Amino acid sequence: MPVPRLLYVEDDEMVRLLITDALQDEGFHLDIADNVAGALALLAKASYDLVLTDGRLPDGTGLEVAERATECGTRVLLYTGYAHEFSSSRHTDLTVILKPLRITTLLQHIRQALYES
């Protein structure tokens, strides 16, 4: 089975480092962006098995990333402390995870999205 390729989008450096380490320890191949523009540029160049994105980014929202990813047929996990902003989303295939979150919970969501769908 090929190694899953993930696009991870997070602007907070400390959070990004923590989650990046956990994802790399799990063996995932990662591309990383810290804003919407960077994520969209990466989505234009490569295909991914899953996109993991923060809800609020300095130049927009994770929904902008999710819209482009789902157009490409890619699953998306969006995590946020502002779920009310995303609850009325028209993205029925979007999984929203609430902050604060445990790494083990995040990894469980990722495995579900990759292997159980």
Contact (CB, 8 A) for 28 and 6:
yes
| Token pair recorded at residue 108 | 């469980």
Largest CA distance in the chain: 37
Count of residues making up the chain? 117
The pTM of this model reads 0.91
Per-residue pLDDT 10s for the chain (117 aa) are 689 999 999 999 999 999 999 999 999 999 999 999 999 999 999 999 999 999 999 999 999 999 999 999 999 999 988 766 655 555 556 788 888 889 999 999 999 999 985
Q: Domains (ranges, CATH) in the chain?
A: 5-115 (3.40.50.2300)
Residue 38: Cβ within 10 Å count: 18
Query: What letter represents residue 13's amino acid?
Result: E
H or E segment and range at residue 85: none
How deeply is 106 buried, as exposed, middle or buried, from its count of CB atoms within 10 A (0-12, 13-18, 19+)? middle
